[in-house]
Structure 1
């Protein structure tokens, strides 16, 4: 996101999960993970602004850093709040014009998505041992809605645990196995195809469902391709 806004020269620290652009990973100071920020590394960098996230970062660490530095905490749960985050980030970093243009482009691309009809009932899995899915107050849930999908766990919140038995009982039309935070693979795909043969099971790139910065420029195109693939599979 910061790179997209042209702030590359001003970014002095990143987390180990900040993998784009790839050249940053070896040219910027890494301050740990989102849940275990190395506070002493941040202190050594003396940043003018720290960007944190309500869901990803530890409240205790954010509060500790806010005693020494200016900290902005983002809270994104759907597309409107993501677009607002982009606009605010532009104001905070002096890139308002670029940020507003970016938000408009993202919004227009999402408006062009043609949702599936009729709606498919989907179970989106993010973790294994135990299996975990997504509730109605998550960004992923909003992305599914924009594809025309109905989350079979839409009556729940956050990231509830589930089980094979519960998923069989829910009888979804479609099971999506995400690439993150747990990286489901071909073995899992084969396993679920046997466990729930009445549902179509697919592997999906979690970045397009859960990264709510400039990655959203690419999400509508990915969703459109995915919808086409799913429709072809169901018609077959």
Structure 2
């Protein structure tokens, strides 16, 4: 038996190394797979799309905002993995009745690395976790060399339309924007605020507008609507997984960011 702390400071008692895991977060499902825990993973959400084959081999227990507690209970899990941002605190009392429940809280790259190492320890996958962190840090340092001479550009990162919502401060997305030398014009606003697009010039008139691929399906019409309120912005449809998924998705994110900057340079 051992006691571990999750990333929101809660103590969790584990009788043994977990063997039946339910993941309620897409990025963490992918991370568990990359930590060689596919066999231990018994339940996932309908949004857990990486790797794709898991949707046909694991039980779907709902979404990230609404889960089926009876389905989870029927799986007889000994560990449930959630996230402060993706899931609701309202879930906790019901989930804890079923199994020890771990909530992550990832707003920075260091938080992400910490999560990988913590899960590696909990699931007896320290070697896999150490190797993954080493690869992430190698890619990160390489990207920092790539980006160091790039100009800083003002940016607005949209996650929803009508109401229009953006990524603000205290988010993993904002950390990724800073890494890319994108100055978030909404960095003085907390989390995911609603904004009025007719005030975007007054807020900072960004050089680049990023319309995220998730959670909202932005289309050309949204890009055109926002564009009418800016002076010179370049609008791109960004891969939301690369900007918002911590964990092993970071191995792909840094190469994606390089491609994004190459694409943007052709417009300036």
TM-score range (shorter-chain normalised) is over 0.9
2:157 aligned residue (124, 149, 173): 124
Q: Is contact 2:155-2:185 (8 Å) kept?
A: yes
What does 1:108-123 align with in structure 2 at a 5 Å threshold?
A: 108-113=138-143, 114-115=146-147, 117-123=150-156
| 2:35 alignment partner in structure 1 | 5
Q: Which runs of 5+ in 2 are unaligned?
A: 1-30
1:218 and 2:263 aligned: no
Deviation at 1:197, TM superposition (A): 4.3
Where in structure 2 are the equivalents of 1:76-87 lying within 5 Å? 76-87=106-117
Partner of 1:75: 105
Asked whether 1:88 is paired with 2:121, we answer no
1:153 aligns with 2:183: no
Aligned-pair Cα RMSD in Å: 1.3
* 1: CA distance, partners of 2:219 / 2:261: 20
Conserved? CA contact 2:159–2:165, under 8 Å: yes
SS at match of 2:103: strand
Residue of structure 1 equivalent to 2:78: 48
Q: Is the 8 A contact 2:153 2:208 kept in 1?
A: yes
Instruction: State the TM-score, normalized to the length of structure 1.
Output: 0.95
Aligned length in residues: 234
Match of 2:198 among 157, 165, 170: 165
Is contact 2:199–2:229 with CA below 8 Å preserved after alignment?
Answer: no
Cα deviation code 1:17-53 (max 9, x no counterpart): 1011111112110100111111111111111111011
Look up the match of 1:188: 222
Return the TM-score normalized by structure 2.
0.84
Q: Which residue of 2 aligns with 1:101?
A: 131
Once residues 68 and 184 of structure 1 are traced to their aligned partners in structure 2, the CA distance between those partners, rounded to angstroms, is 37
Q: Which runs of 4+ in 1 moved over 6 A?
A: none
CA distance in 2, matches of 1:60, 1:123: 31
Structure 1 residues not aligned, in runs of 5+: none
Q: Is this contact kept in 1: 2:205–2:231, CA < 8 A?
A: no
